[in-house]
Amino acid sequence: MVRSHEISLAALRACLLASLVVPILGTAPECAGQVKRAKTLERDSVIAAAREIMGMQTYCALITVDSSGGPHARTMNPFPPEKDMTVWIATNSRSRKAREIQHNPRVCLYYADHNKASGYVAITGKAVLVDDMNEKLKRKRGYWDQAFPDWKYLLLIKVVPEKLEVLNYKRGMLNDTITWSAPSVTFGEEEAR
């Protein structure tokens, strides 16, 4: 059975080959459209595969960097990713992670399902500390009243993605057999890698 992303990659390869073999003609407009469509389909399939893994998880790891450059990981209960793959998390404003984000906003979110061997998602990006009551009310969770009495120390972390990597075994989205690089999307660019 041929998958849609395989058809798109075949079209992309054919267009690239045609532009190398027949440089006099240049890239035909229909090839340019196929290249763009293949990149969009690939990007969309990588993001869809990531959403599937993320949707199966209640928790993820948030990795921050301390003042000496050392990584710190902890378990978090994230909100589902937004349309642009931004992820929100609640924390205590007095926490170590909040201090580390103030000094270095570069973070990584890691979602994995090792029990079912579904795969993993790693999102690297910049974290923004948000102390806005409207944002808090929009995302209110039941346990917050107990964990954050009067919401005095409740703070939101907004993780804005820069790069997303995913392995999704069910979808056949696997790492490169030579470099072991996982399929990825770089945000702000038009292409999946």
Note the pLDDT tens digit of each residue in 78-136: 999 999 999 999 999 999 999 999 999 999 999 998 777 799 999 999 999 999 999 99
Task: Report the alpha-carbon distance of residue 85 to residue 135 in Å, rounded.
Answer: 17
Strand partners, 87: 159
What domains appear along the chain, each with residue ranges and CATH number? 4-54 (no CATH), 56-186 (2.30.110.10)
Strand partners, 97: none
Least confident of 3-12, 24-33, 140-149: 3-12
Tens digit of each residue's pLDDT (9 = 90 or more) over 161-181? 999 999 999 999 999 999 999
Q: Are 35 and 151 in contact (CB under 8 A)?
A: no
Task: Report the alpha-carbon distance of residue 88 to residue 73 in Å, rounded.
Answer: 17
Stretch 138-162: mean pLDDT: 93
Least confident of 3-7, 29-33, 111-115, 173-177: 3-7
Confidence bin at 20 (pLDDT 50/70/90): very low
What φ, ψ does residue 103 adopt, rounded to 5°?
-85, -30
Helix residue spans in 67-165 (DSSP H): 96-103, 133-138, 144-147
pLDDT of residue 189: 55
- Say if residue 184's pLDDT is above 90: yes
Confidence bin at 150 (pLDDT 50/70/90): confident
